[in-house]
Amino acid sequence: MKKIVIVFLFISGITLAGYFVISNANNQVKIVPRAQINKINKQEPKIKESFPFDSILCSFPRPILPNDSLLKLHLLGKFDYTKDSFFTAVSAEHCTKPTYLQKETYKNFKAMFAAAKKEGVILKIISGTRNFNEQKAIWERKWETNIKTMDSIGAAKKILLYSSMPTTSRHHWGTDMDINSLENSYFQSGQGLKEYNWLKKNAAKYGFCQTYTDKKTVVRDGYQLEKWHWSYIPISSLYLKKYNELIDYSQIAGFKGSKLAEKLKSIEEYVNGIDKNCKICD
């Protein structure tokens, strides 16, 4: 077996590079010039890299997080975002109903909105921050419908296809938003497809990532594909890390079906069940 070591030589300001090829059999050493190595490399098949999320999403300035006491309330959705200094109201130009987001999230969404508009793409937020009570209302409305014809596990699993248990929703954090439609079919053709393709190509430039990608092509747990759900990663990746540090199943409570949270692995498979490209900034 051969070991390959890269060697750089500096002579009169000129860099010469080659490889030492060392044979374990006789410890002989020879230098292979750069030109020869380049020729070899050209013959090797190159793996096409995916969109460079790590270099773009994580190039944003590290945000200032609230202290752990307030952060815990953000993570669980148990606070009034209309009075929280980290949050701000979204202009009617950018949303379809009264909406709040974290200030840094909104600043970068506005930049993305302006860039998209120049290319004929209009991005409207149809849902932003939701607190515990708002998420509870969504969850329990669906629970009451499902429990009529299903057992409790079945009722919860059906909700968990697309909706979070209160205290586990990324919408509590002020970093996540639903854009333009809540139907995957909308984004499959026409204007919806144009919007989705624009987001896939450009959203990372502004710090945003699609958290719930297609499980047919991406290995992850949790919710089904949501082409509409986008997250501001410079903050949400840190919130996810803190969620795993500060929150446990004893705090997932106060709504119908909450006792099923641990059995359904709500933290392991749903809170953490996002595209790997959306976890990278820590």
pLDDT digits (tens, 9 = 90+) for 14-37: 333 333 333 333 434 344 444 443
Can you give the pLDDT at residue 56? 72
Give the domains, in start order, of the chain with CATH numbers: 2-43 (no CATH), 53-278 (3.30.1380.10)
The band of 92, judged by pLDDT with boundaries at 50, 70 and 90, is very high
More confident residue, 161 or 5: 161
Can you give the pLDDT at residue 40? 35
Can you give the pLDDT at residue 55? 60
CB 114 within 8 A of CB 182: no
pLDDT value at 65 more than 60: yes
CB 18 within 8 A of CB 37: yes
pLDDT value at 75 more than 80: yes
| Rounded distance between C-alpha atoms, residue 277 and residue 280, angstroms | 6
pLDDT digits (tens, 9 = 90+) for 153-172: 999 999 999 999 999 999 99
pLDDT value at 51 more than 80: no
DSSP secondary structure string for all residues of 195-209: HHHHHHHHGGGGTEE
The band of 243, judged by pLDDT with boundaries at 50, 70 and 90, is very high
CB 155 within 8 A of CB 143: yes
What values do phi and psi take at 67, rounded to 5?
-65, 165
Structure tokens at 41: 């490399």
Percentage, residues of the chain above pLDDT 90: 75
| Residue 88: closest CA among 109, 69, 72, 62 | 109
Can you give the pLDDT at residue 29? 38
Entry pTM: 0.80
Can you give the pLDDT at residue 12? 36
What is the overall mean pLDDT for the chain?
A: 85
Amino acid at 215: K
pLDDT value at 57 more than 50: yes
Amino acid at 111: A
